Amino acid sequence: MKVLKGRVIVSDGTLRGEALVSKRPISFLGGVDPNTGVIIEKNHDLNGKCIKDKILCFPHGHGSTVGSYVMYALAKNNLAPKAILNERADPVIVVGAVLAKIPMIDQLKIDEIKTGDMLEIYCKEGLIKILGE
Amino acid sequence: MLDGEYGWACQVCMQILVKLGELYGATRLIPISSAHISGVSYKTVGDAAIEFLMEIAEKGAKAKAFSTLNPSSIDPCLIDRFPRKLVEKQAEILQLYKRIGAVPSLSCTPYYEYVPAKNSNLAWAESSAVVYANSVLGAWTNREGAPSALASAIIGKTPNYGIHKPENREPNIIIDVLFQPRNEVEYGALGYYIGEVIRDKIPIVKGIKDASLDELKQFGAALASSGMTSMFHHGKKSKSNERLEAVTVEEREIKTVIEKLSSSKLEPDMIFIGCPHCSLQEIRRLASFIEGKKLKSGIEFWVCVSRYVKNKEKKLVRIIESSGAKVLTDTCAVVTWTDKLGVEKIATNSVKAAHYLPTMNKAEVLLIPMEKCVEIAYE
């Protein structure tokens, strides 16, 4: 079993969930539908996938700064991911995670994680256990 | 403030600023001379943002810093073309920002009316304005999120990290442009390509020293759409360090970007000029192309500007509008509901708009310079 350690940005106890992994940056504005939680960005490797209750793993955010409010809207609509794991945090995702209260850890090697992997996250310590499929 | 002794609104705003400050190694909060707040269009922010704003406004939040607003979803002339509910929701958002004390500039180019002083610290959202402020105007602002700009507006300060530190404004990658971009679309495509390549690095771009301010605006807006950069260097005065990593860009890379963003065989039902909102100079140029011509029937021609620019060039606005085009303020095609107006195919000269229109407006895009837009839309 592999264990990753990163930097804690938003902490919320211990949680377990299924990974949804993208090799590409995500723009929440225009890239994710706040009413369905589905990724709608054209040509995105997660196009058509729903992020609700997933542990969403991607390198970093990009695009419009209104993305933070989309994350807040997703949380209000109960469509938020269970946690966010990034290679490198950027302000749009960080503020969105603070407002939406989504646990978030960065400085991780995202390519160690595969979509479908079950993950156990110890937020306080910034530890991620990869339990496999 | 962080403990809530100034109320919930100040507390949540401080939480945002302190969290960002901690993350990025800020040592203190510094005063800002202005904030520019995004998250104004009901279409882009939806009901959750209204709830958040209402909570903040009701708990008595007031802007301490001079604060401007990004575009909303509706121009006064569009009110009758949308369902009443959308119009009311948008009005509610504007009312909430008014209560907070922001100036209803409703533009992504606040810098034409309120020019920030060189070297002044700002807290601006709207990525295209951030890049323009840092790179062209010489002001200092991180790329704020909509809530962090709002938080800074209310607290009147921003954490001193990132681009607020001189050492973080130095270029760390050289971009050698090996061809001469010929128009605003090529400058935009160049920015878009570079944004994808450099991610959040600060480039020194060689070979664009002859670019006009409007071309730099298109370049920067596209750079910010595809990447996380908040600043670029260009022109003769830029120092460059030859030890930096260097990347070359050839013309074929720009062509690939345009091919990716544009459907070449498209007969548009709308033309959209003004992403970011047009400058006075762009309005003058456009009026010179349009003067004496008549818009074809069955095609909408939108020119989006700030109220300031529209009021400044009343005569030219009349020339443009008498041809059948519309000069809109307070909004743009991307942040309004063009799809609800039955628009499916949009021609634009903006690479940033071409990036967002397919997902945000469910529109196909044709990317061509302003002059060509006029050519295909006018008899």
- The fraction of chain B above a pLDDT of 70, given in percent, is 98
Q: How many beta-carbon pairs under 8 angstroms link A with B? A: 109
Which phi-psi region, left, alpha or beta, contains residue B20 (left: φ > 0; alpha: ψ -120 to 50)? alpha
> Going by DSSP bridges, is the β-strand pair A127-132/A2-5 parallel, antiparallel, or unpaired?
antiparallel
Measured between beta carbons, the chain B residues lying within 8 angstroms of A90 are: 200, 228
B233: which 2 tokens?
Answer: 């260097």
User: Is residue B238 predicted with pLDDT exceeding 70?
Assistant: no
Query: Are B45 and A69 an interchain contact pair (Cβ–Cβ within 8 Å)?
Result: yes
pLDDT at B114 over 90: yes
Distance from C-alpha of B236 to C-alpha of A13, rounded to nearest angstrom: 53
* Averaged pLDDT of chain B: 94
Check: CB of residue B270 under 8 Å from CB of residue B345: yes
> Are the Cβ atoms of A69 and B49 closer than 8 angstroms?
yes
**Position B265, amino acid:** K
Per-residue pLDDT, averaged over B17-37, amounts to 94
* Across B28-37, B44-53, B136-145, least confident range: B44-53
Sequence-separated (6 or more) residues with CB below 8 Å from residue B328:
B75, B77, B78, B274, B302, B303, B304, B305
Q: Around Cβ A97, how many Cβ atoms within 10 Å?
A: 27
- Does B51 sit within 8 Å of A42, measured CB to CB? no
Whether B303 shows a pLDDT value over 90: the answer reads yes
Tell me if B20 and A42 make a contact (CB, 8 A cut-off).
no
Contact A94 B20 (CB under 8 A): yes
Is-contact B291 B315, C-beta < 8 A? no
Instruction: Flag whether pLDDT at B9 surpasses 70.
Output: yes
Q: Cβ contacts (< 8 Å) between A66 and chain B: which residues? A: 38-39, 44-45, 125, 145-146
Of B280 and A30, the structure prediction assigns the larger pLDDT to B280
Please identify, in words, the CATH class of the domain defined by B8-166: alpha beta
The answer to whether residue A24 scores a pLDDT higher than 80 is yes
- Lowest-confidence range among B28-32, B53-57, B183-187, B303-307? B53-57
Asked whether the beta carbons of residue B49 and residue A89 sit closer than 8 angstroms, the reply is: no
Q: Is the peptide bond before B276 cis (omega within 30 degrees of 0)?
A: yes
Q: Which domains does chain A have, with CATH numbers?
A: 2-132 (3.50.30.10)
Mutation for testing the A interface, residue in B163, B262, B338, B359 having most A CBs under 10 Å: B359
* DSSP H/E element including A38: none
B359: chain A residues, CB-CB within 8 Å: 30-31, 40-42
pLDDT, tens digit (0-9, with 9 covering 90-100), for B178-219: 999 999 999 999 999 999 999 889 999 999 989 999 999 999
Closest B-chain CA to A67:
B145
In contact, B126 and B68? CB cutoff 8 Å? no
Instruction: Kindly report, residue by residue over B94-112, the tens digit of the pLDDT.
Output: 999 999 999 999 999 999 9
Nearest to B48 among A30, A63, A69 (CB): A69
A72/B226 CB distance under 8 A: no
A-chain residues near B226 (CB < 8 A): 62
Give the pairing type, strands A7-10 and A2-5: unpaired
- A38: which residues sit within 8 A by CB, 6+ positions away? A32, A48, A49, A50, A51
Amino acid B203 reads P
pLDDT value of residue B24? 86
What is the C-alpha separation between B38 and B150, in angstroms, rounded? 8
Q: What is the mean pLDDT of residues A18-43?
A: 92
Q: Residue A91 and residue B19: Cβ atoms within 8 Å?
A: no
Q: Residues of chain B with pLDDT > 90: what percent?
A: 84
Is there a common fold for B8-166 and B262-377? yes
pTM: 0.86
Dump pLDDT digits (tens) for A31-70: 999 889 999 998 899 999 999 999 999 999 987 777 888 8
Give CATH superfamily name and number for B262-377: Aconitase, domain 3 (3.30.499.10)
Q: Which chain A residues are Cβ-neighbours of B142 within 8 angstroms? A: 91
**Contact check, Cβ <8 Å, A76/B51:** yes
Catalytic, A22? Answer no
| Contact between A124 and A39 (Cβ < 8 Å) | no
CA atoms within 13 A on the CB side of B22: 13
Quote the pLDDT of residue B241. Answer: 67
Please state the domain extents for chain B.
Answer: 8-166, 170-260, 262-377
CA–CA separation, A20 and A32 (whole Å):
14
Q: What confidence tier does B239 reach under pLDDT thresholds 50, 70, 90? A: low
Residue B375 above 80 pLDDT? yes
- Contact residues on chain B for A41, CB-CB shorter than 8 A: 359
How far is Cα B213 from Cα B71, in angstroms, rounded to an integer? 21
Both tokens assigned to A65: 């700064």
Angle (CA) B253-B109-B159 rounded to 5° is 90
A64 shares contact with chain B (CB less than 8 Å): yes
Q: Does A32 touch chain B (CB under 8 A)?
A: no
Predicted local confidence at residue B329, as pLDDT: 98
pLDDT digits (tens, 9 = 90+) for B246-301: 999 999 999 999 999 998 788 999 999 999 999 999 999 999 999 999 999 999 99
Identify the pLDDT of residue A30. 81
The pLDDT score that the predictor gives to residue B256 is 97
Give the CA dihedral B241, B247, B251, B254, nearest 10 degrees. -110
CB B370 within 8 A of CB B289: yes
Partner residue facing B38 (CB), from A30, A31, A66: A66
Q: What distance in Å separates residue B224's CA from the closest CA in chain A?
A: 7
